[in-house]
Amino acid sequence: MTRNAPDSTLDHVMPESTDAKDSTQRLALRAGTAPAHTFVDGPTERRKTWLRFRKHRAAVFGLGFIVLLVILALTAQWITPYTPEEVNLRMRGDGPTADHWLGNDDIGRDILTRLIYGTRVALLVGLGATMIAVTIGVAVGATAGYFGGRVDFLLSRLIDTLMAFPLLALLLTLSTVFGPSLRNVVIVIGCTVWASYARVVRAEVLSLRERDYVLAARAAGASDRRIISRHIVPNAIGPVIILASLAIGSIIILESALSFLGLGVSRPTASWGTMLSDGRDFVRNYPHISIAPGIAIALTVLAFNLVGDGLRDALDPRQRS
């Protein structure tokens, strides 16, 4: 058992992803108390989960904010009066006005418009990369946990290897190799952060595979694939969802850091990280250029973290704090 998180920016969101908490969690599981996660249980359970989530006021606020972001991202071209690339040099660094609520950037583009378009990049990277990571992570983790033995040993070392890499360093290197672009950022991040999911799923599966219903399915002659996909994965998915919801925020920060360093989303695409880096040299004269995207990133990450907290409490009542 090794413990580490993929990155300093990721680990804060989920101390539970470390085995420190896992061990207590698993002790509880072994003791046979309450089903670990209630995610796939019947509609009443789902409703209960929702009710528990709803009690978490901050989480509901977070969810609301995310819904708002999604709406903004989807309707960006209709609700913004300008295009994100529209340059107006005569408005270089202009502060907020009635026509430009958040002012203009160093080449006179409308900051609000770019901010709204920036939600697309943030969500695409946050959700896209997480989806890739979850898919790989669940597949690898379930395989390792279910089959055990040599397969487990090899896959676990692969997980260890990936987790041992300093993430940002790896991302910078990969960005240089593949060239910076939105698509590459999503893929590169997705393909490097999956290890923590794999580790969690593996641990869950290790305990699940000895459960009665799995043993029963096996006795009934169900194939490995069927057992994994029908019985194991759905039951192991709870902690993955919690981990994922908490990791989205840090992935958004990662993307912004990459763009800030010039190795993320390429210009002129409006990304919050690129906007920050645009404003970086003008902080003295036009601080509003970098303040707006900074706040946008912070609020978005905050919202995802709150939802993650709420989900954890709702899905896993034992962990409620």
Partner 1 sequence: MAAYLIKRLSQGVLVLFLVSLLTFFVIYFMPGDPARTMVGQARVTEEQLEAIRDKWGLNDPWYERYGNWIGNLLTGDLGTSMMRPGQSIGDMISNAASMTLRLNVMAFAISLLIALPVGVLAATKRNSFLDYFSTFGSTVGVAVPNYWIGVMAIVLFSVKLGWLPPYGADSWKSYILPVFVLSIEEMAATMRLMRGTTIEILGQDYVKTAEAKGLARNVILYRHVVRNAMLPVITLLGYRIAFILSGTIVIETVFAWPGLGQLFFDAISNQDLQVVQAIVLLLTTVVVIMNIVTDMTYAIIDPRVRVR
Partner 2 sequence: MSSIHDRARLSAIRNLMTMHEDRRTVLKAAAAAGLIPVLTSSVVAQRTAAQDAQPVQGGTFVTLGQDAIESLSPEDSGETVQWVPIVNLFDGLYLVNEQYELEPALADSYEPSADGLTYTFRLKNDVKFHNGANFTAQDVVYTYNWIMDQANASTRAANFELVDTIEAPDDQTVVVTLKEADVTFMVNVATTLIYPKDDHAEKGEEAFKGAPVGTGAFTLGEWSPQQRVILKAFENHFRGRPNFDAFQVDVVPEAAGRMAALETGQADNSIWGLNAEDNEALKESGDFNVYETLQVATNHFPLNNKHPFLSDKSVRQALLFALDREAFAEEIFLGQAQVATSNLSPALEKFYNPDVATYGFDPEKAKQLLDDAGWTEGSDGIREKDGVKAQFTMMVFQGDTQRRPEAETAQQWWSDIGVQCDLEEGITSDILAGLVDGQYDAGLFNWVYGGSNGDPDARDTLGTGGANNFSNYSKEEVDELLQAGIRELDEAERVEIYKRIQEIVAEDVPFLFLLNFQNIVFYSNRTQGLPEEVLNADGLYQKMYRFWLEQ
**Residue ranges that bind partner 2, judged by CB under 8 A:** 85-87, 89-90, 92-93, 106-108, 179-180, 262-263, 266-268, 278, 280-285
User: Footprint of partner 1 on this chain (CB under 8 A)?
Assistant: 1-5, 7-9, 11-13, 15, 18-21, 23-24, 27, 157-158, 160-161, 163-170, 172-174, 176-177, 179, 249, 253, 256-257, 260-261, 276, 280, 283-284, 287, 290-291, 294, 297-299, 301-302, 305-306, 321
CB of 77 to partner 1, least distance (A): 27
Type of residue at 292? A
Contact partner at residue 12 from partner 2, partner 1, none, CB < 5 to 8 Å by partner kind: partner 1
Nearer to partner 2 among residue 108 and residue 294 (C-beta)? 108
Nearer to partner 2 among residue 84 and residue 126 (C-beta)? 84
Type of residue at 300? T
Contact partner at residue 21 from partner 2, partner 1, none, CB < 5 to 8 Å by partner kind: partner 1
Residue 244, H or E segment: helix 233-260
Contact partner at residue 267 from partner 1, partner 2, none, CB < 5 to 8 Å by partner kind: partner 2
Residue with token string 């539970």 = 16
Nearer to partner 2 among residue 4 and residue 266 (C-beta)? 266
- List own/partner pairs for 81-88 with CB under 8 A and 24 or more apart: 81/110, 81/113, 82/109, 82/110, 82/113, 83/113, 84/109, 84/110, 84/113, 84/114, 84/117, 84/268, 84/270, 85/109, 85/268, 85/270, 86/110, 86/113
Closest CA to 67 of 112, 123, 145, 139: 123
> Helical H runs in 109-181?
111-147, 149-164, 167-178
Nearer to partner 2 among residue 106 and residue 152 (C-beta)? 106
